[in-house]
DNA sequence: AAATATTCCAACCGCATTCTA
DNA sequence: CTAGAATGCGGTTGGAATATT
């Protein structure tokens, strides 16, 4: 038993509003107001529409002083700050932005602002502060951490390293119609003051998968966001999930066919546990965009755990 | 130029809350 | 006080517009 419909759907017009319908609704409300009864309004206004539909059309489009078009930086900041604090309470957020409707803000967030945020990493905890040592679940930490409103600016211009200082190797190959080219590598020695995302983006050929050794946390975000189609591999002794006990961790985001390149890089740089890792890579049937994590525990046993590398979207 | 994919947003849907008889 | 109606809200979707292949 579902809820009774608010109107007879068969006798009511649906879909986009015509200019004539808009005019009728506008004229009626300007002359008589809503009368506090949306259900009765369409009939009085001579519209074959559901009352709910009329209400929505009026509130989101026809009522005076509705602002359409580009959102300003200030509006972005307000939306970001409020979203970080109260989540998707669109009507409350809209209340802080004169002329904007909840629907408009919701759409803007879902289609544009969220992506913008991802790139600027607003949703990460303050990158200048290393996470506490006693966390064992980085994802939990991330989502429960204090709101990013503690930022001096809600939209930091770039990511930065926290207080780590890892030599970081980036390796990439270009992707052409002939297939993948030979691997090329670059060694970064990233200092805490370096702008990681910026250097990654400068380095990374736009359409290349990326392999990275070293780095942690936001380096991983940088790798994922600056790599082609999410194809990146990251080998780190300080990963997203095991900062607390300082287990070695290898985070991999690999696409199928990458086994060879991984092996080559591992050989070339004489990583510890190379054999175990290579074994895991070859025995796991890695598919495109799959993400695996490998942990090396105190007994130097490599353990694999399939998990999504954290992405905030 | 055509086909296909992606983006965007107005509108819909159904649940939750508030109102009112 | 209570049940049913009305309204508010946020997630989802259809399809037009635009971009890409």
pLDDT of residue A118: 55
* A90 CB inside 7 Å of strand C: yes
A2 CA, C5 C1': separation in Å? 16
Cβ–Cβ < 8 Å for A210, A233: yes
Q: What is the mean pLDDT of residues A278-298?
A: 36
A43 CA, B9 C1': separation in Å? 28
The string over A17-51, giving b where at least 16 C-beta atoms fall within 10 Å of a residue's C-beta and e elsewhere, is beeebeebbbebbeeeeeeeebeebbeebebebbb
A91 CA, C8 C1': separation in Å? 9
A44 CA, B4 C1': separation in Å? 46
Cβ–Cβ < 8 Å for A215, A236: yes
Sign of CA dihedral A165, A269, A226, A231: negative
> Which nucleotides on chain B have any atom < 7 A from a protein Cβ?
7-15, 20
Q: What is the mean pLDDT of residues A254-283?
A: 40
Name all contacts of A97-102 with Cβ < 8 Å and 24+ positions apart. Answer: A98/A65, A98/A67, A99/A65, A99/A66, A99/A67, A100/A67, A100/A71, A100/A75, A101/A59, A101/A60, A101/A66
Which nucleotide lies at the shortest CA–C1' distance from A3? B14
**Bridge partner list, A211:** A171, A233
| Residue A139 neighbours by CB under 8 Å, 6+ apart | A240, A241, A310
Q: What is the mean pLDDT of residues A40-57?
A: 89
Q: Is the confidence at residue A52, as pLDDT, over 50?
A: yes
Count of positions (residues) in chain A: 313
Which nucleotide lies at the shortest CA–C1' distance from A54? B11
Joined together, the tokens standing for residue A105 give: 């803000």
* A42 CB inside 7 Å of strand C: no
**CA A124 to CA A142: how far, in whole Å?**
7
- Per-residue model confidence as pLDDT tens digits over A152-166: 222 222 222 222 222
A138 CA, B17 C1': separation in Å? 36
Domains of chain A: residue spans and CATH: 9-62 (1.10.10.60), 73-120 (1.10.10.60), 167-306 (no CATH)
Which nucleotide lies at the shortest CA–C1' distance from A60? B10
- Per-residue model confidence as pLDDT tens digits over A86-120: 778 888 888 888 889 999 999 998 888 876 665 54
> Which nucleotides on chain C have any atom < 7 A from a protein Cβ?
5-12
Lowest mean pLDDT among A54-63, A74-83, A229-238: A229-238
A41 CA, C3 C1': separation in Å? 24
* A107 CB inside 7 Å of strand C: yes
Q: What is the mean pLDDT of residues A188-205?
A: 35
């Amino acid at each position: 038993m579902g809820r009774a419909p608010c109107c007879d759907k068969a006798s009511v017009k649906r879909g986009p509003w015509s200019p004539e319908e808009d005019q009728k609704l506008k004229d009626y409300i300007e002359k008589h107001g809503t009368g506090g009864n949306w259900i009765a309004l369409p009939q009085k206004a001579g519209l074959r529409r559901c009352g709910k539909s009329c209400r929505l059309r009026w509130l989101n489009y026809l009522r005076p002083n509705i602002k359409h078009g580009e959102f300003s930086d200030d509006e972005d900041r307000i939306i970001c700050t409020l979203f970080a604090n109260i989540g998707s309470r669109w009507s409350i957020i809209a209340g802080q932005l004169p002329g904007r409707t909840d629907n408009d803000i919701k759409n803007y967030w879902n289609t544009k602002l969220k992506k913008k945020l991802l790139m600027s990493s607003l949703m990460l905890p303050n990158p200048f502060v290393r996470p506490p040592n006693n966390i064992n679940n980085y994802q939990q930490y991330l989502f429960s951490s204090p709101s990013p409103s503690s930022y001096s600016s809600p939209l930091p211009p770039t990511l930065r390293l926290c207080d780590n200082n890892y030599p970081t190797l980036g390796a990439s190959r270009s992707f052409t119609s002939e297939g993948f080219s030979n691997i090329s590598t670059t060694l970064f020695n990233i200092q805490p003051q370096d702008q990681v995302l910026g250097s990654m983006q400068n380095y990374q050929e736009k359409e290349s998968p990326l392999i990275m050794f070293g780095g942690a946390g936001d380096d991983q975000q940088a790798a994922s966001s600056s790599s082609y189609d999410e194809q990146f591999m990251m080998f780190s002794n300080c990963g997203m999930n095991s900062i607390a006990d300082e287990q070695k961790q290898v985070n991999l985001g690999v696409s199928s066919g990458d086994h060879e390149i991984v092996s080559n890089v591992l050989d070339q740089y004489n990583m510890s546990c190379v054999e175990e890792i290579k074994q895991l890579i070859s025995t796991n049937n890695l598919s495109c965009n799959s993400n695996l994590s490998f942990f090396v525990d105190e007994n130097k046993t490599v353990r694999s755990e399939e998990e999504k590398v954290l992405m905030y979207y």
